[in-house]
Amino acid sequence: MRELSEIAKEFYKQGRRIVAPLMGFPGVGLIGSNIKLAQQNWGEHYKVIKALVDLFSPDIVFPLMDLSVEANALGRYTIFPREDSATVPKDRFNIEEIEKLSNINLSFDSRVIGYVETLKLIGIGLPSNVIRGAYVTGPYTLSGLMMGADEAAIASVIKKDELHKLCNLSTSKILEYIRLLISAGAEIICVLEPMAVMLSPQQFFEFSASFVKQIAVTCKYNGVNTVYHTCGNTMHLIERMVESEINGISLDSKDAGVILTEVAKRVPENVIIVGNINPATTMLFGEPEDIKREVTELMDSMRQYPNFVLSTGCDLPQETPIENIRTFMDAGRRWKK
């Protein structure tokens, strides 16, 4: 696959943009299913994604966002609500478990296989012009899910060697998962690092970006693009994210403090900027006129940057009105350079 920046520039030359909201959960209601079933049954999962593509025709599609897959595969206690995404609550962890965990083969895990099989069905059943993406948990976030978010933050200061060991393990297991996703047809790997927003730029590079660089190199070798996704105000981390050699950065909304026009001045043209309409306020509660206005304003503000991709700041809530998603897509499609 070509680099995302080249595809974005091609769209830009035609006077339009790639339009790709991060959506998955609203599709659950479209097929009358529930999140637990869709995340554990790849036939249902595929139906969710197909319903969204049939209705909205996004340029890029991802399966349901799920930060529990790798942690669950490594034996962490996981909760599966019926109408919410699976979560990994804090549990006991001993750094001495690393050696035992390193011997776990993720390719035999049922939930890992479920996401791999979903991606295969997406490749078979959806139009070939829809770019196929897949999510993985970031190295620092996976380590935080393993040892606890607070413990990971403390370890980044006073137990750096232990956190390095755990991040190394996390990265090796993420890469196992990525190889399966690539073999299933993934064209983009989106690395989800929500916990890393709390780190300083130096800590972020040390415990996230330096490991994500390994992921980016592996994906690049296989002709697959990588996107770094973070939540919250990450304006202090932009350069560190780019140093990981990924193909794109996916950023939270302006309400979180992320101003894309400022980001664009600090990012090379060969790195795409994905974002950043607020999913939890604008998309969930806004009126169609509000969404149209915000989308148009964002696209106008990014007019001079070919490496911009219109999206949402994060995954859309399940309750997002279908009419709001349709308005988002229409506003994005009708904009002309």
CATH 3.40.50.300 assigned to domain 4-332? The reply is no
Q: How many CB atoms lie within 10 A of CB 14?
A: 10
Q: Using a pLDDT cut of 70, give the percent of the chain over it.
A: 100
| Residue 126, CA atoms < 13 Å, CB-side half-sphere | 30
Nearest in space to 239 (alpha carbons), one of 271, 207, 214: 271
Q: Specify the pLDDT at position 336.
A: 80
Q: What is the mean pLDDT of residues 123-143?
A: 97
pTM of this prediction exceeds 0.85: yes
Distance CA 236, CA 42 (A): 38
What is the per-residue pLDDT across 151-175, written as a single tens digit (0 to 9) for each? 999 999 999 999 999 999 999 999 9
Those residues with Cβ within 8 angstroms of residue 94's Cβ, 6 or more apart along the chain or in another chain = none
What is the per-residue pLDDT across 174-218, written as a single tens digit (0 to 9) for each? 999 999 999 999 999 999 999 999 999 999 999 999 999 999 999
Q: Specify the pLDDT at position 327.
A: 97
E-strand ranges in the chain read 60-61, 131-137, 188-192, 225-229, 248-250, 272-277, 308-312
What is the per-residue pLDDT across 287-322, written as a single tens digit (0 to 9) for each? 999 999 999 999 999 999 999 999 999 999 999 999
Enter the tokens of residue 260: 């894309």
Q: Band the pLDDT of 1: cuts 50, 70, 90.
A: confident
Q: Which residue has the tokens 């097929």?
A: 31
Please say whether the beta carbons of 27 and 51 come within 8 A.
yes
Q: Specify the pLDDT at position 13.
A: 95
Query: Domain spans of the chain?
Result: 4-332
| Residue 125, CA atoms < 13 Å, CB-side half-sphere | 18
Q: What is the mean pLDDT of residues 21-29?
A: 96
Nearest in space to 73 (alpha carbons), one of 124, 145, 148, 158: 145
Q: Specify the pLDDT at position 56.
A: 97
pLDDT higher than threshold 80 for residue 337: no
Distance CA 14, CA 181 (A): 31
Q: Specify the pLDDT at position 285.
A: 96
DSSP 77: -
Q: Band the pLDDT of 70: cuts 50, 70, 90.
A: very high
What angle, 0 to 180 degrees and rounded to 10, lies between the N-to-C axes of helices 149-158 and 160-183?
120
Nearest in space to 314 (alpha carbons), one of 113, 101, 62, 84: 62
What is the per-residue pLDDT across 100-128, written as a single tens digit (0 to 9) for each? 999 999 999 999 999 999 999 999 999 99
Enter the tokens of residue 2: 């070509």
Mean pLDDT taken over the chain: 96
